[in-house]
Each structure stands twice: as structure tokens, then as C-alpha cells.
Amino acid sequence: MKALRYALKWLHSLFSTEAGRPAPIDSHKAESKIKEEIEAFERAILIKPEDAEAYYALAATYDSIGRSREAITSYKEAIRIDPDFPPAHFLLGNRYVIDGDKESALQTHKQLSKLDVDLADTLFDSINNWTFAACPQGNANDS
């Protein structure tokens, strides 16, 4: 899919290096490019509405700019289309962790553990790290 390849090429260019150092990022240019990418993914989805990877890429783009609701909706749509798509489950779970929704993160972990044990373990570590960060003294009910 041309739009997806374009988006991935653009994301790669954000992290390109010059003389071993990261290239400086012009925030206005990056913001403009992200808007273009979102529009490209949305066009791709209009053309091929059952493309889980397009929804996943759109979700990851939303996620990268903190648009949580849109990211969650797009991850869920990718999973609806392809329930056996571990990266979508993983990033959805991480989005829940970032948002502080432990229950949803654990539900996503349960689904992911049936698909990819390594990713599920990584998500579980994130969930536990979030729990300890949110409750530094721990929970009295955890003993």
C-alpha cells in the first residue's frame, strides 16, 4: 500500500542521522508531516477499509502525538479486523498503561499472551512498572 510505505519512509526520516548525530527536528515541519501522515492513512483506509496495518499505523501515529482516544479507537479497529495481530494488542496495552487504565491493560495482556508470549511479558512488565510508579509505597492489599 503506497500510503503506508510513504508513512513508514517518513517516520524513518525523522530519525535519520547526519555525521552520527540525530538530525534536528523542526517542530513545525514535523507537525505538518504528522498531519499529512494521518490524512494519508485515512485515505488508505477509505480505499481499503479492512486493512489492519493501516489502522495500526494510524493508531501509532495518533499515539506518537498523544491523541489517546483516536489511538485506542484505531488499535481496536486493527484488532477487530485482524484479532491475531500482536503489535496492535501490544501498543494498545501500552496506551492503556500510559493512560493509567490498569484493568484494560491487563485485559489486553491476557489476549496478547495467547498470541505472543514475549510481547505479553514486556507488556506485563510495563503494567507492573506503572503500578509501582503510581503507588511507590505499594498497596497494602498486595501482601
Over residues 112-135, the mean pLDDT reads 86
Reply yes or no on whether the pLDDT at 133 is more than 60.
no
> What's the grid cell of residue 112?
496478547
Q: Minimal CA–CA distance to 91: which of 42, 133, 126, 136?
A: 126
- Please report, rounded to a whole number, the percentage of residues in the chain having pLDDT higher than 90: 66
Q: Are 40 and 93 in contact (CB under 8 A)?
A: no
Please report which residue ranges of the chain form alpha helices under DSSP H: 2-14, 27-47, 52-64, 68-81, 86-99, 102-113, 117-134
| Max Cα distance, the chain (Å) | 53
> What 3-state class would DSSP assign to 19?
coil
Q: What is the pLDDT of residue 32?
A: 85
Domain edges within the chain: 1-7+28-82, 83-143
Q: What is the pLDDT of residue 137?
A: 42
pLDDT in tens, 37-86: 999 999 999 999 999 999 999 999 999 999 999 999 999 999 999 999 99
Number of residues assigned to the chain: 143
Can you identify the CATH homologous superfamily of domain 1-7+28-82?
Answer: Tetratricopeptide repeat domain (1.25.40.10)
pTM for the structure as a whole: 0.73
